[in-house]
């Protein structure tokens, strides 16, 4: 048997060259319906010298591909001119469409990879968003991760002042507010914007001579700062994007902080806090459980270590006699390794991935869509037949994927199935930048654990408790809204931003 350290090393190394996939048992449709989905990943870089921003932005966004697979875009600053490119598709596919890479080589770049909610897959909603002057020149471009809770109100205010909106996204509200206040200077415009908007937001952006980034007062969505050298900086949703471009992690952007450059001091990064008295740390706890890549570090906490500890903790919380432990690739594997380490029950990577499968299968029937799962993941029957198996998954949302997994294991001849979720029961939707099903569709909001155990057809079922999650994270300074219905920001109107 391989040591658990070898399993960990092999598990993490694969994501240097392959896209991280959270739960590979989900079909593409279920990724929308049976999983919480991150709205996007953002990336930005600045130097006082020209860089190969075309290649570096591509590397950084590829490292963030797991945060959104529907669309990708970049804006590049070169010789005082901003050029924008965005399209539907994966990062590498969109970059292949760029005919002249030298056009996208400059001294600053921002990029965005997007998860698009149903009915919203329109190119005018792809990011980065940009504003033009009367000469049809781009003067401002931003990329945003999160969700504003007062966007509808602000949109109506701006429209009353004559502002014309071109997209159906709250991100454009941020863009237009900054644009409207540029006569205050860039720092003043961002500060005025942050004093108006509410909700969750991490933003990177540029003007024709400046680079900036800022984060909401609760720090709900992640944003990290790195440095390639003393005059070149990188900002991204996760530290893995820093690694991808050869930047060293410096720190996380603070809640309520603006960082920015000044054309009079090229290469120097400045910082200012907005309403520091109200700033507090409430980063989304689900980043550690599910969204972030396992080799990322957020708020000085390593994601892999949290996931491994979650497996150890759920063994302490709900021990069981079994023969092997398996984790649902990719996101359930670290917790399965932790469960094995704590329990002594052997970990077996018996769900084998097809590393060459893409997302482009188009099939007309549900029966054939079911078969796609077996193309992505296939169990080694000899390893699990007649065995008592503990299956570790990151979460249970609607329950349809978990039920299919149980069916596959039973068909492989498993003797007993003990299901462990290393997130607490998800009982409430998120409105702070995560696309989750409505409460009516969240199975833990509508069934007891015993009812869900019977629905799945497993011998036992346990969820990590919220108290144990807080213990693993080391504090209660996180957003636990999807587990508790208690949010750090007032909810706002439950209606579409644009009717």
Q: Is 430 annotated as a binding residue?
A: yes
Determine phi and psi for 226, rounding to 5 degrees.
-135, 170
Give dist(CA 387, CA 89) in Å, integer: 42
3-state secondary structure of 320: coil
Q: Is 230 exposed, middle or buried (0-12, 13-18, 19+ CB in 10 A)?
A: exposed
Strands (E), 187-320: 199-207, 211-215, 224-229, 232-236, 248-252, 257-261, 269-273, 283-284, 297-298, 301-302
The single residue of 24, 35, 40, 143 carrying the catalytic annotation is: 40
Q: Is 284 annotated as a binding residue?
A: yes
3-state secondary structure of 249: strand
CA dihedral 224, 226, 232, 234 (to 10 degrees): -40
28, containing H or E segment: helix 28-33
Q: Is 72 annotated as a binding residue?
A: no
What order do you get walking across the sheet with 388-393 strand by strand? 324-327, 388-393, 416-421, 460-463
Partner residues linked to 44 by β-bridges: 110, 235
Q: Is 441 annotated as a binding residue?
A: no
Give dist(CA 204, CA 216) in Å, integer: 12
Instruction: Answer whether 359's CB lies under 8 Å from 27's CB.
Output: no
Alpha-helical regions (H) of 220-259? 239-244
Give dist(CA 467, CA 273) in Å, integer: 32
* Residue 72 annotated in active site: no
Q: Is 120 annotated as a binding residue?
A: no
Alpha-helical regions (H) of 168-302? 171-180, 186-196, 239-244, 286
Which residues participate in the annotated binding site for [4Fe-4S] cluster?
A: 284, 430, 479, 482
Catalytic residues: 40
Binding-site positions:
284, 331, 393-394, 430, 479, 482
Residues of each annotated binding site for Mg(2+):
331, 393-394
């Amino acid at each position: 048997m391989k040591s658990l350290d070898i399993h960990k090393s092999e598990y993490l190394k694969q994501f240097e060259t392959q896209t991280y996939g959270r739960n590979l048992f989900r079909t593409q449709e279920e990724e929308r319906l049976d999983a919480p989905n991150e709205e996007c990943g953002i990336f930005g870089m600045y130097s006082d010298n020209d860089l190969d921003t075309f290649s570096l932005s591509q590397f950084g966004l590829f490292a963030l591909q797991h945060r959104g697979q529907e669309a990708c875009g970049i804006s590049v600053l070169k010789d005082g001119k901003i050029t924008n490119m965005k399209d539907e598709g994966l990062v590498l596919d969109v970059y292949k469409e760029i005919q002249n890479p030298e056009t996208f080589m400059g001294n600053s770049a921002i990029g965005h990879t997007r998860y698009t909610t149903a009915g919203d897959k329109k190119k005018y909603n792809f990011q980065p968003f940009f504003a033009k002057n009367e000469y049809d020149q781009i003067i401002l471009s931003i990329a945003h991760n999160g969700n504003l809770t007062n966007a509808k109100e602000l949109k109506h205010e701006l429209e009353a002042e004559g502002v014309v909106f071109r997209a159906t996204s709250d991100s454009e509200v941020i863009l237009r507010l900054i644009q409207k206040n540029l006569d205050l200077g860039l720092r003043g415009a961002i500060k005025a914007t942050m004093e108006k908007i509410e909700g969750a937001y991490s933003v990177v952006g540029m003007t024709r001579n400046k680079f900036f980034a800022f984060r909401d007062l609760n720090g709900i969505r992640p944003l990290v700062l790195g440095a390639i050298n003393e005059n070149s900086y990188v900002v991204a949703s996760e530290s893995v994007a820093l690694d991808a471009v050869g930047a060293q992690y410096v720190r996380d952007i603070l809640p309520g902080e603006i960082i920015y450059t000044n054309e009079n001091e090229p290469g120097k990064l400045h910082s200012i806090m907005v309403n520091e008295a109200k700033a507090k740390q409430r980063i989304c706890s689900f980043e550690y459980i599910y969204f972030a890549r396992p080799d990322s570090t957020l708020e000085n906490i390593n994601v892999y270590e949290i996931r491994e500890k979650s497996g150890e903790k759920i063994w302490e919380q709900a021990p069981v006699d079994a023969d092997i432990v398996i984790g649902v690739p990719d996101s359930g594997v670290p917790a399965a390794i932790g469960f094995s380490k704590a329990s002594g029950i052997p970990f077996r990577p018996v769900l084998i991935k097809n590393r060459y499968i893409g997302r482009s299968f188009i099939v007309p029937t549900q029966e054939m869509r079911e078969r796609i799962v077996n193309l992505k993941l296939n169990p080694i029957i000899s390893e699990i037949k007649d065995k008592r198996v503990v299956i570790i998954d990151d979460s249970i949302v609607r329950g349809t994927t978990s039920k299919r997994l149980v069916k596959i294991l039973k068909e492989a001849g498993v003797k007993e199935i003990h299901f462990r979720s290393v997130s607490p029961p998800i009982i409430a939707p998120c409105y702070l930048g995560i696309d989750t099903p409505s409460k009516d569709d969240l199975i833990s909001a509508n069934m007891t654990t015993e009812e869900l155990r019977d629905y799945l057809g497993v011998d036992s079922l346990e969820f990590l408790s919220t108290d144990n999650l807080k213990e693993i994270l080391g504090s209660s300074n996180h957003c636990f809204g999807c587990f508790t219905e208690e949010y750090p920001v007032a909810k706002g109107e439950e209606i579409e931003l644009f009717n």
